[in-house]
Structure 1
Amino acid sequence: MSDEGEKEEGNKAVLMRIADALDRLAPPPARQISLTSGDAFLWDAANLKSIAPFRPIDIDLLTGIDQQKARLLDNTRRHAKGHAAHDVLLWGSRGMGKSALAKSVVRTAQGYQGSIALVETASDQLENLSALFEILASAPRRFILFIDDIGFSEGSSQPRLLRSMLEGGASQRPDNVRLYVTSNRRHIVPRQMSEQDDPINPRDAVDDQLALSDRFGLRLGFHAASQDDYLAIIARYAEAHDLDFEPDDALLWAKQAGSRSGRMAWQYIVELAGRAGKSLV
């Protein structure tokens, strides 16, 4: 072999070693998951990952929110069957079951005719949802896009982006997707005292912000639990897990925690189970 031939072979060998090294350094390609199976997924701004097992709280255990439960379940069943259904805003007091209900209704609707799955994403991923919508639009099933505890800082452009998803525009969600969003505020965007001093169309600026919640066809309020509601929630959990409790002890727990809510009630049940040496799994 000539010197030029040996040199060419040597160069090829070097290039092959470099290519092999780069292959070892490169991350493996993302595993494609099937959207026609699986009950729930997580969108991390770039990829969909399966949530398995998907075991939200049994919908029958959610107490004190019967009206909200019935309306959200009906809306979810409609969507699963391909009928007209609303985007939903679940707003109100912390710990009163907004997130739990959003997941539980999807799990319940999966037992009815139609195919539906939950897709959960973080509230700071709105800019990346157009890529998700492209993926979901091509799947032969229905989806609930769940965004928990959404909120925007003053001056953020994300409220307009969310409004575009709900009412049309380049980032509009596809027909087989509905948004279920939770927020501690009815209007999502907080009103600032500085709005009162804005010399440039202050009323228009405020109305533009508050109109965001109006884009949701169904808006469900969750209010702080009364003492009776709080005890009823505990009683339902205690019955389901074969636990005994004293109302005075349950009220003391809430007083020490500083609030009465479904979340506080569940934490009290965890405490009861621990005292009794039981597991809640």
Structure 2
Amino acid sequence: MTMSTSIDSSALLAQLERIANSLERAFAPDQAQAFDTQAIAYQWQYRRVRGIEQAVLSAVKNPALISFEALQNIDRQKRLIEQNTRQFVTGRPANNVLLTGARGTGKSSLVKACLERFHPQGLRLIEVDKAHIGDLPQILDFTTGRPERFILFCDDLSFEEGDSGYKSLKTVLDGSVAGQAANTLIYATSNRRHLM
């Protein structure tokens, strides 16, 4: 006994198309993960994406910028950080920066002024919370090879004894086998002169 079934080819094609569309949506790059090339500032954050907590690079739509001219009574610091950042964006040797001092003395404003001055030359800023400083190698994987120049900015940086973030920062600053990305510097502020 043989049984014959007739398959409606148009219904089968429609079903296959629905399956393909579902798979594309499920595995397409997430909007939260897409790099917004029009933005000048980003935040490294943790969010739930498709039910999984993961790090994402989120564009800051309206970053709080300030001009160097608006900063008063810190002329020496302005000159030094502006010169260092200028060297960085032009591909010359530049240093990572740690700004220390009491609250309200303009440390974060100096970093924002660098972004305001040099973003037309390709400078970009990624703000990294001190709780996520251990993600620096992952962030460097993202920035390495890109045409932009990145400042990884950590505000109010300090470590408690045994904090694993300190080791990650030290590895990035001292260099690892992979080396440091030539297009990335770390600018940090701290209210403490000693980070530990």
TM value normalised by structure 2: 0.77
Which of structure 1's runs of 4+ aligned residues deviate more than 4 A?
A: 2-6, 25-28
Q: Which of 49, 69, 90 pairs up with 1:60?
A: 69
CA–CA separation in structure 2 for the residues paired with 1:56 and 1:116: 13
Alignment pair present for 1:107 and 2:116: yes
Per the alignment, in what secondary structure is the counterpart of residue 144 of structure 1? Answer: strand
1:72 partnered with 2:74: no
The Cα of 1:38 is off from its aligned counterpart by 2.6
Which entry has the higher C-alpha Rg, 1 or 2?
A: 1
Is residue 171 of structure 2 the alignment partner of residue 164 of structure 1?
yes
Structure 1 counterpart of 2:140, one-letter code: F
Are 1:79 and 1:85, in contact at CA under 8 Å, matched by a contact in 2? yes
**Counterpart contact for 1:78–1:84, Cα < 8 Å:** yes
Q: Is the 8 A contact 1:99 1:148 kept in 2?
A: yes
Equivalent pair of 2:133/2:169 in contact (CA under 8 Å): yes
Does residue 98 of the first structure (1) align with residue 107 of the second (2)?
A: yes
Shift of 1:176: 0.6
* Richer in strand (by share): 2
- CA deviation digits over 1:184-216, x for unaligned, max 9? 111211xxxxxxxxxxxxxxxxxxxxxxxxxxx
The answer for the alignment partner of 1:33 in structure 2 is: 35
Tell me the CA shift for residue 131 of structure 1: 2.1
Following superposition, the deviation at residue 33 of structure 1 comes to: 2.2
Query: In structure 2, how many angstroms separate the alpha carbons of the residues matched to 1:44 and 1:70?
Result: 32
Displacement of 1:105: 1.5
Cα RMSD for the two superposed structures? 3.1
Q: Does the 8 Å contact 2:134/2:169 carry over to 1?
A: no
Number of the residue aligned with 1:231: none
Q: Is the 8 A contact 1:161 1:171 kept in 2?
A: no
- TM (norm. structure 1) is 0.55
**Alpha carbons of 1:67 and 1:19: their partners in 2 closer, same or farther (altered >3 Å)?**
same
Provide, for residues 233-266 of structure 1, a one-character-per-residue CA deviation record: whole Å limited to 9, x for no partner.
xxxxxxxxxxxxxxxxxxxxxxxxxxxxxxxxxx
CA drift at 1:47: 2.1
Aligned residues: 181
C-alpha distance in 2 between matches for 1:171 and 1:97 = 34
1:185 aligns with 2:192: yes
Alignment check: 8 A CA contact 1:73 1:109 kept? no
Q: Quick one: distance in 1 between partners of 2:111 and 2:130?
A: 15
Match of 1:122 in 2: 129
The percentage of counterpart residues that share the same residue type is 31
Q: 2 CA distance for matches of 1:156 and 1:99?
A: 23
Give the aligned partner of residue 155 of structure 1: 162
In structure 1, the residue matched to 2:143 is 136
Give the Cα separation in 1 of the matches to 2:119 and 2:28. 33
| Contiguous gaps of at least 5 residues in structure 2 | 7-11, 47-54
Q: Verify: 1:85 aligned to 2:87, yes or no.
A: no
SS at match of 2:66: coil
Query: CA separation in 1, counterparts of 2:163 and 2:181?
Result: 24
Of 48-57 and 87-96, deviating more is: 48-57
Amino acid at match of 1:89: L
Larger relative helix fraction: 1
Q: Which amino acid aligns with 1:165?
A: V
Letter in 2 for 1:124: A
Q: Is 1:49 the equivalent of 2:51?
A: no
| Aligned counterparts of 1:4 and 1:133: Cα–Cα separation in 2 | 60
C-alpha contact (below 8 Å) 1:165/1:171 kept by paired residues: no
Structure 1, unaligned runs of 5 or more: 7-11, 190-281
- Separation of aligned partners in 2, 1:171 and 1:148: 26
